[in-house]
Structure formats: C-alpha cells, structure tokens
C-alpha cells in the first residue's frame, strides 16, 4: 500500500506553505489521499517552519510519524530532521548553500540539488524558486506523474501572468529531469485513479458546512487558529449571502451572534480559548433567553496567550464551565475534517430545535491541517430542522407564552416581527411569558419550574445524539480512549499495535455534553485496561469521564508540548504502559538539542548550533546534565559547551572556548 511521508523544513518566509499546497494538490488530483500539518510559528519571517505532507493510496488519518523524504531548505532542517528519514528514504537539499554532514540512518541517501545551476536558465534567482525545483525532483523520487503539477502551478500563478506560470513549470521540470538523471526513485507504487476529491482544512469545513446549513451571519474577532473561518467567510460572503461581521472584541462577537440568532437567522461565531473566555457570559445569555447560536472554539496551547500557533486540547474545562449558573448547552468535538462538516450541520439543527448554544470544540491541528475527504462527505443538500417556530398566533387560543412550560422543555419560538406573539426575552429569570421573576417578584415555584424546563431540553435532545461505540476487537487487552481530533491517529496506532501483537481497541467520544454516561460506563466496565489519550497536561477529559460515569481510567497519555500525536508515539507509550515501565519526564536527547537551539538563538546568534550531546554527572548542578557541544554552523568547530539539567531542563551553564 502506497504511503509516502514528506517533510519540508526551512525558514518562515521561504514560501514553504505554498510549496506544500502545490504538492498536496498535485497528489490529491492524481487520486491519492493527503494529510498535511504545518508546524508554523507566529512570526512573519525568520524562525523554523516545519511542514509535513503524507500521501496515501488509501485514506491517511494523520501526518504520520517518520519521513521518507526530507526537503531541507535551510541547515537547521537538515540537522533537526534528517535523522527522522527512514531506510530507503532521501534527504534533498540545496547543495549550493547547505551541507548534509550529519549521520543518517542506514539506507538513507542524499539528493543534493545544485539550485543555482538548475535555476540559471529561468531568470534571476529568487529564493522561492528552489521550492519549485525541489518539488519537481520530489515528484520523480516519489513516483508521481508530472503533468498534474503543471496544471496546479498554472492555477496557482495564473494571477501573475503566463511568464511566471511558464517559469515555474520549467523550474519544476528542471528539478524532475535532474532527479531522473541523478537519483534513484523511492520504492513506492501508486495507482493514480485521478479521482477528484475535496482537499480542505477543518476550518474550511466548518465555514462551508455553515453556509450549506443556512448560516447567514458570522461574527468573529481575529484569533489564531480560528481566523481562517473568518477569512473564508469574508471572501465568500457575497457569493453565499452571508453577513460577516468582525467585532471589536469577542464580547461583541458573541452577543451579536446571539442577537442574530434570536432574530431568526442561523448565526455562528468562532474563536480560540482566549476569545471564548470573553464570550462566556454571552453563552449563558443564549442559554437563558433560549436563543440558538453556534460557537466554534478552536483550541490552541494555553493558558493565557500560551503557544498561539501550536495545538492542544486543554479548553475542555472552560467550555464545560463557561458562564455562571446552570443552563443547557451542547458540546460537540468533531474528530476529523469530514466530521467538522457533518458536526456543523448537526450543531445548527440542535441549536434551532432546542434553542440553545451549541459549542463545536476543535483544535489547531483539526482546524488548520488539510485532508482529503470523499465528495459525498460534504453534500450540498444537508438536513435542516429549524425546530418549533410560531409563525402566526390566534389570540383566541389565549396569550402566546414564549417560555411555555412543556413536557420536553421546548417552547415553540416566535421571532420578532410576528403578530400577536410579542414578548421580552430576558437575561433575568422569568415566567412562561418572559415576565421577570427576579428582584421584587422572586417566585420560588416559578423559578424551580423554569429551571427544570430549561434543563429538560438536555434529556430531550439526548435521543438525537448517537452513543459512543467501541471500535476494534471486543476482547482487546487495552482500550484507548480518545476525543476530538485524535480519533484518526489513535486508529492508526491501533493498527500498528496489532501488527506488533498488541490487541487494542478504541472508545472515541464526539458528543461531550450531554454525555452518554450509561453507554460509556457499560463499555468501560468490560475493558481490561484503559488509557485516555489527550493533548493536555491534566487529563481534562478523563476527569470529565470520571465525573459523568464514576469510571477512572487506568492510565493516561498526556501530551502538552504543542505538537500533535503521532501514531508511533502512541504505540511506544501504550507498550510502555502495558509493560509497566514508568514514564520518565527527563529531558531526552532530542529535547536537550531543542533547548540548546533556543539558548543559541537567544544568546549566541545564528552562526552556531548544537553539536554532540552526552549525559554526564551533575558536577554541582544537583542533577544529571546534558553536556551539549555548541559548534560553528558551517565548520562544525567547537565553540563551547552548554549544560542542561536532565531532570529540570534548566540551562545551568554556558562555557565558551576562549
């Protein structure tokens, strides 16, 4: 089965993202499945960019866990990522500027590209040209047919005119031909069906699904990693008939969306954790006045401003606890790009039917990584259920009661502009008609019944939500519990575990509130051993699971370094847990190198880099240390030694060679 994992590394501003798009689109049009991840930083230029693109003959569920090809556009990328290339793989780099002078794994070959000579015929050298040459070479190495990239480049550069298009096609061709003449292709076989499939990010799926579901109002304040929803909406607003409002802050954004929802349009707003914090009071308002609204919360690394361009699943406590008081809310965590599409349709229907806020909780990985999905996973026609709407009222039936106490908790809704249904929607607690029962009119009986009416909606809507299911062998020795974006990567890890003789199954949660406590408990009570896998430091979901079911998971795999889970990492951790090996929080060799990179960048400048590392006795540091040689980037000559604590990660000392 064809599976090719490619890494592209360079400096921000090198145009890597565009190169990645071109590659992904080309492969996608050949009929392959693609999943990509851009490990970018919040800087416009400079810094290290690390892009992962994985191609598969069959559906791929993550960006993978190793490299078959590395395209290195700066020296850092060679040093950091060349060791990840597995046997049979290739390290490709611009040999005019870069050297691959580090140890590679066995069976890995170098593919140096003389970029200057290759680009010379096509005009003055610009740094981005090397991307196109490298892509051309990669097509040959990866066994991909050339014609499609010409088509993709034609579309990408159409706005710059034919000369630029031709130049890029020629550059790619030069790379392809050079590789053909000088390198051996990788051992990968493809069947190019050339079936066209949508290739999109989670954020694009949220936006397109919203317009398909009839969203007519979208409000947002710019915040990574949710901004792409705003950008898509703004770009397509006119074509799709959506009013897109950038608010002055998330307070405005949420309250505007709720106002629009109250007035009868399907409305949505989007943000990340910090913005969501500002929205919380409004979410309680939506619960109280029973206004439908959909809120997309795209998590990034917290707390506070946190790691704005990195992924995490640590806002769960926040979405559960958002706003004071008890009120009904729905929380859905889509699991992949196609599920972002499906979940958004569901969210609008639930919001309308049950007149409450629905929170779609995503994360940077899910929202920003692009993935190939099947065309029928994003249908144009989606089910729309607007719930009980009163469009006319016969006063002979008596007074219209906006918050009528009903058995299922749902009170038929009348929109402003309707005759004979005039009422106030109050944030103070109120009776059936919307008249306040707060302050001087406080009425304990009415307060009890209105509260019960609102909360009853949670029981009623439960029947609309499919229960979680155990996937994989029922007699597995371990059950991996996941939620949100980690469904796919855990699924892949389970296949790898099976190949290694470990029988594992998966219990994945999408509907976080209301929670299928009974069903979850029943499944978990039969599990031999459970590991909850989530991208946060405190096991927020495991805690919620315990609160809802009384079930405590046996073990956790918590990741809070900002990078998404990879299949092999899960395999390794699961095997370690099953073998009873304690998990060490010590700084690994790779981590010591990264700590050294940071120190070098902050204090020593760009012409140095970490070299050899070794673990040594503490020597006064009170712990074992990593002794890290710091060398000249070009010559490799030693310039000093950095000492980093193995346990604490602290930079204890830097000693320059005089």
Partner 1 sequence: MATIIELPIETFSGPVDPDWCPGCGDFGVLKSVKMGAAKAGVAPKDLVIVSGIGCSSNLPGFIHAYGVHSLHGRAVAVASGIHLANTSLKVVITGGDGDGYGIGIGHFIHAMRRNLDITYVVMNNQIYGLTTGQASPTTSKEMRTKSTPRGNVEFPINPLALALVSGATYVARAFSGEPNHMADLIASGIQHKGFALIDVFSPCVTYNKLNTYQFFKKRVYKLEDEVGYHTGDMRAAFEKAFEWGDRIPLGLLYADQQPTYEDSEPAYKRGPLVHQPLGVEPAVFQSLIEELM
Q: Which of residues 522-551 bind partner 1 (CB under 8 A)?
A: none
The tally of CA atoms less than 13 A away on the side-chain side of residue 560 is 15
Binding residues among 12-71 for partner 1 as defined by CB under 8 A:
28-29
Q: Which is nearer to partner 1, 375 or 473 (CB)?
A: 375
User: If binding means CB under 8 A, how many residues of this protein chain bind partner 1?
Assistant: 73
Q: What SS3 class is residue 20?
A: helix
Binding residues among 261-300 for partner 1 as defined by CB under 8 A:
261-267, 281-282, 285, 289
Concatenate the DSSP letters of all residues of 246-306 into one string: E-SSHHHHHHHHHHHHHHTSEEEEEE-HHHHHHHHHHHHHHHHHT--EEEEEEE-B-STT-
Concatenate the DSSP letters of all residues of 572-613 into one string: HHHHHHHTTPPPP-SPPHHHHHHHHHHHIIIII-TTEEEEEE
Contact region with partner 1 (CB under 8 A), list: 39-47, 100-108, 426-434, 518-526: 426-434
Binding residues among 296-355 for partner 1 as defined by CB under 8 A:
none
Contact region with partner 1 (CB under 8 A), list: 119-127, 172-180, 411-419, 467-475: 411-419
Q: Does 257 bind partner 1 (CB under 8 A)?
A: yes
Q: Which is nearer to partner 1, 211 or 507 (CB)?
A: 211
Smallest separation (angstroms) from partner 1 to the CB of 210: 10
Q: Does 454 bind partner 1 (CB under 8 A)?
A: no
Q: What token pair was written down for 374?
A: 């099947």
H-run or E-run covering 629: strand 625-632
Residue with tokens 């619960």: 287
For partner 1, the binding residue among 260, 364, 478, 520 (CB under 8 A) is: 260
Q: What is the DSSP letter of 468?
A: P
Return d(Cα 251, Cα 255) in angstroms, integer. 6
For residues 184 and 236, the answer to whether their CB atoms sit within 8 Å is: no
Smallest separation (angstroms) from partner 1 to the CB of 390: 13
For partner 1, the binding residue among 423, 510, 559, 643 (CB under 8 A) is: 423
Q: Which is nearer to partner 1, 142 or 370 (CB)?
A: 370
For partner 1, the binding residue among 89, 225, 247, 409 (CB under 8 A) is: 247
Smallest separation (angstroms) from partner 1 to the CB of 245: 7
Nearest one of 644, 585, 656, 596 to 618, comparing CA atoms: 644
Q: Which is nearer to partner 1, 5 or 209 (CB)?
A: 209
Q: Which is nearer to partner 1, 82 or 211 (CB)?
A: 211
Smallest separation (angstroms) from partner 1 to the CB of 426: 4
Q: Which is nearer to partner 1, 246 or 538 (CB)?
A: 246
Which residues have C-beta within 8 Å of that of residue 366, sequence separation ≥ 6? 202, 298, 334, 335, 336, 337, 340, 484, 485
For partner 1, the binding residue among 44, 187, 440, 445 (CB under 8 A) is: 440
Over the window 178 to 207, marking each residue x when it contacts partner 1 by CB under 8 A and - when it does not, the resulting string is ------------------xxxxx---x---
Binding residues among 357-386 for partner 1 as defined by CB under 8 A:
375, 378, 380-382, 384
Q: Does 426 bind partner 1 (CB under 8 A)?
A: yes
Contact region with partner 1 (CB under 8 A), list: 212-220, 442-450, 453-461, 555-563: 212-220
Nearest one of 200, 183, 195, 191 to 95, comparing CA atoms: 183
Q: What is the DSSP letter of 623?
A: S
Q: Does 397 bind partner 1 (CB under 8 A)?
A: no
Smallest separation (angstroms) from partner 1 to the CB of 345: 11
Burial 107-145 (b: 16+ CB within 10 A, else e): ebebbbbebeebbeebeeeeebbbbbbbbbbbbbbbebe
Smallest separation (angstroms) from partner 1 to the CB of 292: 12
Q: What SS3 class is residue 397?
A: helix
Strand 504-509 to strand 470-471: parallel, antiparallel, or no bridges (unpaired)? Answer: antiparallel
Q: Does 229 bind partner 1 (CB under 8 A)?
A: no
Smallest separation (angstroms) from partner 1 to the CB of 267: 7
Q: Which is nearer to partner 1, 26 or 94 (CB)?
A: 26
**What residues form DSSP beta bridges with 361?**
297
Smallest separation (angstroms) from partner 1 to the CB of 32: 13
């Amino acid at each position: 089965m064809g599976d090719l994992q490619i890494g592209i590394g360079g400096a921000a501003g090198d145009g890597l993202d565009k190169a990645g798009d071109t590659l992904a689109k080309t492969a996608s049009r050949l009929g392959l499945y693609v999943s990509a991840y851009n490990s970018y930083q919040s800087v416009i230029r400079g810094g290290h960019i690390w892009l992962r693109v994985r191609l598969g003959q069959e559906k791929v569920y993550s960006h993978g866990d190793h490299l078959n090809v590395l395209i290195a556009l700066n020296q850092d990328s060679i040093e950091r990522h060349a060791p990840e290339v597995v046997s049979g793989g290739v390290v490709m780099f611009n040999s005019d500027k870069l050297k691959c002078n580090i140890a590679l794994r066995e069976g890995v070959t170098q593919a140096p590209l003389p970029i200057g000579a290759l680009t010379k015929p096509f005009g003055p050298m610009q740094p981005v040209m090397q991307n196109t040459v490298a892509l051309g070479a990669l097509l040959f190495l990866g066994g991909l047919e050339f014609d499609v990239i010409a088509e993709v480049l034609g579309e990408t550069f159409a706005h710059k005119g034919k000369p630029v298009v031709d130049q890029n096609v020629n550059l790619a061709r030069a790379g392809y031909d050079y590789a053909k003449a000088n390198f051996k292709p990788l051992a990968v076989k493809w069947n190019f069906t050339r079936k066209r499939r949508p290739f999109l990010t989670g954020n694009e799926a949220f936006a397109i699904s919203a317009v398909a579901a009839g969203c007519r109002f979208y409000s947002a304040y710019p915040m990574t990693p949710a901004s792409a929803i705003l950008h898509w909406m703004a770009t397509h607003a006119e074509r799709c008939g959506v009013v897109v409002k950038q608010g002055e802050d998330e307070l405005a954004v949420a309250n505007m969306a709720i106002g629009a929802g109250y007035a009868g349009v399907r409305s949505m707003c989007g943000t990340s954790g910090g913005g969501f914090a500002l929205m919380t009071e409004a979410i309680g308002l939506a619960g109280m006045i029973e206004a439908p609204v959909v809120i997309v919360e795209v998590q990034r690394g917290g707390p506070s401003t946190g790691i704005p361009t990195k992924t995490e699943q640590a806002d769960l406590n926040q979405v559960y606890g958002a706003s004071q008081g008890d009120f009904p809310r729905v929380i859905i965590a889509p699991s992949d790009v196609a599920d972002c599409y499906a979940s958004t349709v569901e969210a609008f229907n639930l919001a309308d039917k049950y007149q409450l806020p629905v929170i779609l909780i995503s994360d940077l990985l899910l929202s920003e990584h692009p993935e190939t999905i099947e065309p029928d996973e994003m249908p144009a026609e989606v089910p729309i259920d607007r719930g009980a709407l009163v469009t006319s009222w016969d006063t002979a039936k008596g007074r219209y009661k906006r918050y009528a106490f009903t058995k299922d908790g749902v009170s038929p809704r009348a929109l402003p502009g309707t005759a004979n249904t005039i009422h106030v929607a109050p944030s103070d607690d109120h009776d059936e008609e919307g008249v306040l029962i707060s302050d001087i009119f406080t009425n304990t009986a009415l307060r009890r019944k209105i509260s019960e009416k609102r909360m009853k909606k949670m029981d009623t809507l439960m029947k609309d939500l499919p229960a979680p299911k155990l996937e994989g062998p029922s007699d597995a020795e371990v059950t991996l519990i996941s939620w949100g974006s980690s469904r796919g990567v855990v699924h892949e890890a389970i296949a790898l575990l099976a190949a290694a003789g470990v029988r594992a199954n998966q219990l994945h949660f999408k509907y976080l509130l209301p929670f299928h406590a009974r069903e979850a408990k029943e499944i978990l009570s039969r599990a031999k051993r459970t590991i909850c896998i989530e991208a946060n430091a405190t096991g927020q979901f495991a805690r919620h699971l315990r609160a809802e079911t009384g079930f405590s998971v046996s073990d956790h795999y918590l990741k809070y370094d900002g990078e998404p889970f990879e299949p092999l990492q899960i395999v390794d951790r699961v095997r370690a847990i099953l073998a009873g090996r304690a998990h060490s929080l010590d700084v690994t060799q790779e981590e010591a190198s990264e700590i050294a990179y940071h120190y070098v960048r902050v204090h020593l400048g760009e012409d140095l880099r970490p070299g050899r590392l070794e673990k040594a006795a503490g020597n006064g540091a009170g712990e074992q240390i990593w002794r890290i040689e710091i060398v000249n980037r070009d010559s490799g000559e030693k310039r000093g030694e950095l000492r980093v604590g193995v346990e604490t990660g602290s930079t204890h000392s830097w000693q320059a060679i005089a």
